[in-house]
Structure 1
Amino acid sequence: MSSAKTLYTILNVIIFLILASIGLGIFVLAMILFGLKQDFIGIGEDVLIYKTEAMLYRYTFLKLVVYAVFVVALWKLRKATKLLLKNDFYNTKLIKDMFNSGKLMILSSVALWVIDEMSNMFFKRQVFVGLSEKTLVYLLIIAMGLFLMLMSTVLRDTKAIREENDLTI
């Protein structure tokens, strides 16, 4: 169970860091929207790359929404890990949280992948052929989401078998 404790701690740190970065992103976006000049962060996105400034805001807002969906996926995985720490493998909540976390991970990864590729093609006029580091990360998160969905299905089936065995005894 020490690996479950380690996973729980890592999920807490990741959720905190992502929430802090989303908060910082909203803060910087609000500063830009209100016309306040900022030089202390060093945003890598140049407004001139986009056709209009509104496209940059839409792009940034879409990414923030996808990151929020990813945080929800991690939160559900954190709740499932908490149930694993209690050795409650046949809990319906555990099965549901693992499955939903996997679905949200897949959704957020595919959405972020599409948003990044669309921004590269339409805004930056770049097309990447092959696997980049970002693509590999997206594929890894998709694989993790599929694994969580598979494990929840396995746990659901073992729960049904256990309930059937309890009835026959």
Structure 2
Amino acid sequence: MNSAKTLYSILNVIIFLLLMGIGLGVFFFLMLLLGIKQDVVNLRVDLINFKTEAMPYVYTVLRLGVYVIFINALWNLRKATKLFLKNDFYNYKLIRVLEISGKLMIISAISAWSIDWISDVFFKFRISIGLSETTLVYLFVIAIGLFLMLISKVLNDAKTMKEENDLTI
């Protein structure tokens, strides 16, 4: 169970860093929206790259939505890790949380991948075909989501077999 404790700690750090980064990003984005000058971060928006003035804001809101979904997936995975620490593998809550976490990871990866592709087409006016590092990351997150759903299904089947075994004895 040492690995479960390590995973739990790592998930806590990742969630904290993501929330802190998103919070700072939203803060500086609001400063940009309100027209407040700042010299901390070189933040500027080239409106030439966008067809309308609203596009960067729509893009930012869409990306924030993807981050919210991904953080929710990590939070559910954190809950599952906490249940793993209790050594209760035949718990319906553990099975459900793993399934939800897997589905949310798949949704967030596909959404982020789609938003990146759409932004390349509409903002950068280019279509790229092939595998890049980001594409591989999205595919890896999808694979992790599918693996979590598989583990959920395996634990559900094991729980069903254990219940049948308990009834026959």
Q: TM-score range by the shorter chain?
A: over 0.9
Equivalent position of 2:41 in the other structure:
41
* Aligned twin of 2:88: 88
**Root mean square deviation of aligned Cα:** 1.2
Give the letter for the 1:132 counterpart.
Answer: S
In the alignment, the residues of structure 1 paired with residue 44 and residue 32 of structure 2 have an alpha-carbon distance, to the nearest angstrom, of 14
Contact between 1:106 and 1:141, CA under 8 Å: does it hold in 2?
yes
Give the residue type in structure 2 aligned to 1:89: F
When residues 138 and 162 of structure 1 are mapped into structure 2, their CA distance, relative to the original with a 3 A threshold, is same
Whether 2:111 is the aligned partner of 1:136: answer no
How does 1:18-167 map onto structure 2 within 5 Å?
18-43=18-43, 46-167=46-167
Other-structure match for 2:6: 6
Residue type at the aligned position of 1:156: N
Separation of aligned partners in 1, 2:101 and 2:152 = 10
Of all paired residues, the percent bearing the same amino acid is 62
Which stretch shifts more, 112-121 or 26-35?
A: 26-35
* Moved segments of 4+, more than 6 Å: none
Shift of residue 43, structure 1, vs aligned partner: 3.8
CA distance, structure 2, for counterparts of residue 128 and residue 95 of structure 1: 39
Once the 2 structures are TM-superposed, how far is the Cα of residue 21 of structure 1 from its aligned partner?
Answer: 1.2
Q: Which moved more, 1:32-41 or 1:132-141?
A: 32-41
Relative to structure 1, is the Cα distance of residues 40 and 47 closer, same or farther in structure 2, using a 3 angstrom cutoff? farther
Amino acid of the structure 2 residue aligned with 1:48: I
C-alpha change, 1:53 and 1:38, in structure 2 (3 Å) is: farther
Structure 1: runs of 5+ lacking an equivalent: none
Deviation at 1:42, TM superposition (A): 2.7
CA separation in 2, counterparts of 1:32 and 1:80?
A: 39
Residue deviations 1:62-115, cap 9 Å, x none? 101110110000000000000001111011110000000000000001000000
Q: TM-score, normalised by structure 1?
A: 0.96
- Structure 2, unpaired ranges of 5+: none
| Alignment: residue pair count | 169
C-alpha separation in 2, matches of 1:104 and 1:60: 20
